[in-house]
Structures are given as structure tokens and as C-alpha cells.
Amino acid sequence: MRSEGIMVLLTTTVIMMYFCWMMSPKELMLMNLQSHKQIIPQKQLQLFVLAGQSNMLGLGGVNKTTLVNGAKIKVWDGVVPPESRPNPAVFRLNEHFQWELGHEPIHYGINCKITCGVGMGMAFANKLLQMDPNFGVIGLVPSAAGGTSVRNWSGDSADNPYRVLLQRTKFAVENGGALRAIIWYQGEADTIHPFNARHYKTGLEKFIRRFRNDLHFPTLPFFQIILPRVRKPFRGTLVNEVKRAQRDTNLPNLIKIETDGLPVSPDGVHLTTEGYIRLGFTLANAFLETKSKLLQNKNVVSVYNTSDYNVA
């Protein structure tokens, strides 16, 4: 009898320890994520494609110096602001074409393994779900490539960044759900070369039409982020020309996001963490305000200003 009592006590203790372990915050999150994956069909994901160059990759918090192959470079400090924390209702398509819980750096593994940090993607998704809790489950499709010009995206199909973008987007649609919009932040590289700046508008319009055509989605909402007010040491001298081209682009379902006034990092062109968060907030508001209009095949061109959105 005594041995049976000891066995009962030990069994009860083990069960209690297991229960406590399972109910820890970390394991609760993992349990929710696992069950979330099981009960949410991938076709229900609300997809947003993130494309462009380094400001879309996200360089927020990239201010820690380290040695890589003998060279000093800046890397992410690992700080995730509350606005950009993981959310059980936000996924990202990783470099292995697998859906996983969204996290910063959102572009890690996709053309960026060292210098990428906090971007706008998670802040955008979290803010959108905060404003509309019934929106559904978001699937982010990071597909940017640092240092690319608009010609890399609007040329023939052999251009690597465009090919990767199209491949990832098609996979996400076929295995994830409804494509809601593309968010585009690019142009810094084109401010350095006169030819690129002069033909930026033509290249941008060609890219938009090409992407929509390849996806058979002629009214795909396109969110164009206009370059911020840059400063030295950034060496692009044709910023105003590229910004003018971005503002002059006029196609159906095009939404322009002004970024003048957002905080810029010491390099003079990339946003700070706060800047990316404010931009994410603006994008969420712009999407929710225009989504009913964008379902129609009309020439919708709206302008949103990030100066109206601050980080608490």
C-alpha cells in the first residue's frame, strides 16, 4: 500500500510539473502557434508582398559594430520594439518557401543575412490587426533586394530580383491565400545615376504593369513609398528627380506614401526603427481606408503622409 501511495504521489508530481511546463508563456505561445497552423488553412492568409531595396529590407537598429571576415560592419542590435513583436496571426514566407511565425528581421534569409534589422512589415501587420481585429491572418512575403535600381525590376525576365519576387509571390498565392497588395520601397540607387533618374517613371510604370500582368491581377493595389528627405553622407544627388517621378506616376490602384519628416539614420538615407514603425502605421491606415475603393477597377491615386502618425 505504501509503495502504491508513493507511485501515486510521484505520478501526480510528474503530471503537475508537466502541466506547469506546458503552461509557461513560451510554451503557451508555441502551443498556440502549432494549433494555429493546424486550424488556419493557408488559403485564408491575407497576403502582402514587400518589395524594393534596402529600406524595404529594414535597417532599424543596425548600429552594432562587429567583425565579419576581418572587416568591421554594422549589424542589428537585436532589439525588437513592442510594435514589431511576433503575433500569432502574422506569418512570413521564409527563404525556404515555408510559412513561419513572422519575426524581425522580416527579410532575414531573403537577400539579407547580416545587415538587416527592424523594418516596417511587422509594425504594419500588427497595426492593421489592431485597427481591424477581424481582418484575418496575415501572410507577409518579403522579397526585397538591397542596392537594386528600378531597371533591375522592370527589365527582362532574367533579372534576378524580379524573378525571385514573382516566384515567391506565385508560391504564396498558390499555397497561402488572397493577395491583397504589394508594398514597394525603392529608388535610392537610382538617385546616383542620371540615366536611371531620368527614366525612373517609365521604369516604375513598366514594373507595375509587368507584375500585375504576370500575376493576372490587373487591379492589384500598389503602395508606392516615396523617398524620404535624405542628407549627407548619402551621395545621391538626384533625389528630387526620383521623388518627382514617384509622385508623377499615375496608374490605377496606386497609393502614394510620403515619408518626408520621418527620422533618418546617420547614413542619411535609411530610416531609424521609429521611422519604420511610423511608416508601418501609415501603411496600415492607408490600406484600411482605401481597400473598398481598390476592389474596383478605377484610377485610384491617394496620398498619405507619415507625419500624422507617431510612435507612442
Give the integer Cα–Cα distance in Å for 34 and 96: 19
What SS3 state is found at 3? helix
Which grid cell is 48?
Answer: 502582402
Instruction: Name the nearest CA neighbour of 140 among 280, 304, 259.
Output: 280
Instruction: Name the nearest CA neighbour of 198 among 157, 240, 234.
Output: 240
- Catalytic annotation present for 103: no
Contact 184, 52 (CB under 8 A): yes
Catalytic residue among 54, 84, 143, 149: 54
- Catalytic annotation present for 84: no
Catalytic residue among 159, 267, 307, 308: 267
CA atoms within 13 Å, Cβ hemisphere of 268? 10
Let me know if 40 is exposed, middle or buried by CB neighbors in 10 A (0-12, 13-18, 19+): middle
Catalytic residue among 84, 154, 190, 270: 270
Give the integer Cα–Cα distance in Å for 263 and 61: 13
**Residue holding cell 514594373?**
207
Contact 52, 188 (CB under 8 A): no
- Catalytic annotation present for 267: yes
Backbone φ and ψ for 258, nearest 5 degrees, come out as -80, 140
Give the integer Cα–Cα distance in Å for 204 and 242: 10
Taking residue 174's Cβ as centre, other Cβ atoms within 10 Å add up to 10
Q: Which residues are catalytic?
A: 54, 267, 270
